């Protein structure tokens, strides 16, 4: 049972449907959930439908096949392995089945034996068309069965047999006017029969005739060697009704016992089904394969749907993020557009201010140069030209008497080294020596250029 996580057992009654779910990890008869569903209403989807979780928590869906559509046969076979017993049953199917073997589905259940060389095997047979019709009705209700079972087997196995006799189970076949009779002798189940209440005439007489024929058949086969003890397994109104009919028919003592409750019977079915060989099943093999294929196809489709859904969500999130980014970009662009005019005006004003500052700086630089020349010019030298260009270049030219070479050089050196406010006025790295030459009458003409260090720093 460890291979299943849960078991579902469905009972389709004429007036309602009952669904039990059992936890396979708890070996108890108490269902984890129990639902009663009227015909026409859907079964609980989460309970009966297999999903992704069923891959690691497998569930077993079991349905009770209406017993009135089932034939029960008892075979005594030599004790052997399960596979050998199955082969022996297959060899006897034509003998056991009341309908052609090609039109039947079957399963078997081996009863435990304490002694002897034979084992008792209950062979369950059902007409294929009836089973397929029943499965079709279950499919319409959204219930895909993994196994088809009948509760009669569990009721029989739960019965405590301490003497030879016949156990009568009314209404267990699903029909109120029918009963299954189990014949036990020497601790061994020898036969299973169905008796019905006649629609006309005396019910007690009709039942008496049927039981008399079954008793005679047991005597002829040799396993019934004494008058059987009679047991009625029923309760409530069914027990009263059948007891009133059987006592006149049997004219013998009859013991009354209660049947296994439906919930406990479902638990027994779940335990037996989980331990059974999956190949021995009233469910046709093609249905089992189709259900399994549908399950895997459904998982693939749901997985694909989940991937598509995640992709769509991702696309929606991406589009939302893109829209938000576009909105922010548009907002910033709008702000930039609104500020562009004032920014342009500010830049123009800053440029004008820089021009004014440059003009002011040049004005003061020219004054500084003029003051420096006026303070440093020797009396022997005459300044003929003063040119201040490009904001930092100062060009001087003039004349001097013959023999004033040293005075020209001294004037040049003094200007070159002149400082204002603790800083050199001219750049000493860009100073060229003065040029002078002798002109007419022996006078000297001179010129040299200096670069303001202050103007370069700016």
Query: Over the chain, what is the mean pLDDT?
Result: 86
Provide the 3-class DSSP secondary structure of residue 19. strand
Q: What are residue 71's DSSP bridge partners?
A: 125
Contact (Cβ atoms closer than 8 angstroms) between residue 411 and residue 378 = yes
Q: What is the mean pLDDT of residues 355-379?
A: 78
Q: What is the mean pLDDT of residues 355-360?
A: 80
Provide the 3-class DSSP secondary structure of residue 431. coil
Closest CA relative to residue 18, chosen from 274, 271, 262, 259? 262
pLDDT in tens, 426-443: 777 777 788 878 877 778
Contact (Cβ atoms closer than 8 angstroms) between residue 68 and residue 77 = no
Helices vs. strands in the chain: H and E counts, helices first: 11, 19
The continuous run of DSSP H or E covering 35 comes out as: strand 33-37
Sketch the domain layout of the chain as residue ranges. Answer: 6-283, 364-457
pLDDT in tens, 139-173: 999 999 999 999 999 999 988 888 899 999 987 75
The continuous run of DSSP H or E covering 355 comes out as: helix 285-376
pLDDT of residue 30: 62
Contact (Cβ atoms closer than 8 angstroms) between residue 372 and residue 425 = yes
Query: In terms of pTM, does the model score above 0.75?
Result: no
| Percent of all residues in the chain with a pLDDT value above 70, rounded to a whole number | 96
| Token code pair at residue 381 | 């030298």
Higher per-residue confidence, 172 vs 62: 62
Class of domain 364-457: alpha beta
Split at pLDDT 50, 70, 90, the class of 29 is low
Strand order in the sheet with 17-23: 33-37, 17-23, 6-12, 59-64, 147-149
pLDDT for 322 beyond 90? yes
Higher per-residue confidence, 295 vs 125: 125
pLDDT in tens, 244-271: 999 888 888 899 999 999 889 999 999 9
pLDDT of residue 115: 65
Q: What are residue 118's DSSP bridge partners?
A: 78
Sign of CA dihedral 88, 270, 186, 115: positive
Name the least confident of 208-212, 258-262, 421-425.
421-425
**Count of alpha carbons within 13 Å of 349, Cβ hemisphere only?**
6
pLDDT in tens, 442-451: 788 888 888 8
pLDDT of residue 63: 94
pLDDT in tens, 64-97: 998 778 899 999 999 888 899 999 999 999 999 9
């Amino acid at each position: 049972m460890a291979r299943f996580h849960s078991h579902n057992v469905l009972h389709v009654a004429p007036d309602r449907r009952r669904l039990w779910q059992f936890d396979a990890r708890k070996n108890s008869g108490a269902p984890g959930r129990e639902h009663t569903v009227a015909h026409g209403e859907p079964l609980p989807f989460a309970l009966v439908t297999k999903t992704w979780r069923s891959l690691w928590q497998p569930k077993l869906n079991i349905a009770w096949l209406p017993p009135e559509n089932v034939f029960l046969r008892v075979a005594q076979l030599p004790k052997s392995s399960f596979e050998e017993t199955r082969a022996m049953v297959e060899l006897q199917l034509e003998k056991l089945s009341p309908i052609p073997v090609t039109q039947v589905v079957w399963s078997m259940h081996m009863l435990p034996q304490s002694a002897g060389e034979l084992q008792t095997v209950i062979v369950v047979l059902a007409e294929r068309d009836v089973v397929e019709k029943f499965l079709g009705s279950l499919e319409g209700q959204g219930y895909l069965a993994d196994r088809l079972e009948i509760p009669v087997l569990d009721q029989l196995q739960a019965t405590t047999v301490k003497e030879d006799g016949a156990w009568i189970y009314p209404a267990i076949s699903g029909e109120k006017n029918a009963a299954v009779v189990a014949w036990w002798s020497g601790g061994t189940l020898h036969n299973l029969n169905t008796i019905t209440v006649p629609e006309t005439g005396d019910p007690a007489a009709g039942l008496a005739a049927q039981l008399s024929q079954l008793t005679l058949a047991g005597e002829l086969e040799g396993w019934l060697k004494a008058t059987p003890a009679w047991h009625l397994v029923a309760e409530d109104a069914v027990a009263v009704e059948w007891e009133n009919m059987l006592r006149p028919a049997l004219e013998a003592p009859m013991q009354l016992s209660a049947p296994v409750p439906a919930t406990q019977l479902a638990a027994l079915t779940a335990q037996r089904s989980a331990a059974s060989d999956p190949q021995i099943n009233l469910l046709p093999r093609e249905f089992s394969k189709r259900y399994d294929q549908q399950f895997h196809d459904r998982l693939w489709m749901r997985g694909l749907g989940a991937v598509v859904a995640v992709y769509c969500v991702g696309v929606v999130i991406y589009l939302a993020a893109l829209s938000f980014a576009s909105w922010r970009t548009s907002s910033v662009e709008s702000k930039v557009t609104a500020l562009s005019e004032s920014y342009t005006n500010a830049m123009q004003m800053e440029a004008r201010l820089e021009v004014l500052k440059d003009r002011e700086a040049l004005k003061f630089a020219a004054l500084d140069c003029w003051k420096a020349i006026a303070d440093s010019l020797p009396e022997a030298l005459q300044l003929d030209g003063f040119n201040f260009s490009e904001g930092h270049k100062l060009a001087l030219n003039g004349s001097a008497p013959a023999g004033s070479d040293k005075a020209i050089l001294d004037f040049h050196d003094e200007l070159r080294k002149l400082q204002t406010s603790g800083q050199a006025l001219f750049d000493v790295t860009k100073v060229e020596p003065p040029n002078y030459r002798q002109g007419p009458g022996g006078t000297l003409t001179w010129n040299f250029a200096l670069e303001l260090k202050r103007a370069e720093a700016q």
